[in-house]
Amino acid sequence: MITVKFFGLICVDCNIRQLIVKEGTVKQVLNQVMQSCPNISEHRLSQAIMFVNKQHINGKKRFSVLLKDGDELALLSPSSGG
């Protein structure tokens, strides 16, 4: 199983701090998150800053990263302000 941790506005949208989901690619895991947290948009998840096991992943290829049993995916909403 994969532990997905939520931070920032993503945590507020989901109203939980973490979720346990099945193994798969980051894209498949995000789909599971959207099913479990209907208040979160695909756009917000796709814009998230992502870490797998505390290692930053970025770019379009990040969605194809395979997550294995015991992995942790952290999703942080990007900050903004002015």
Q: Which two tokens stand for residue 77?
A: 């909403």
Mean pLDDT by 10 residues, the chain (82 residues): 93 89 97 92 90 94 96 88 50
pTM attached to this predicted model: 0.89
User: Is there a contact between 43 and 23 (Cβ–Cβ < 8 Å)?
Assistant: no
**CA 59 – CA 25 distance, rounded (Å):** 14
Of all helices (H) and strands (E), which one includes residue 35?
helix 26-36
- At residue 80, the pLDDT reads 55
Q: Which listed CATH number (3.40.390, 3.10.20, 3.30.70, 1.10.10) goes with 2-71?
A: 3.10.20
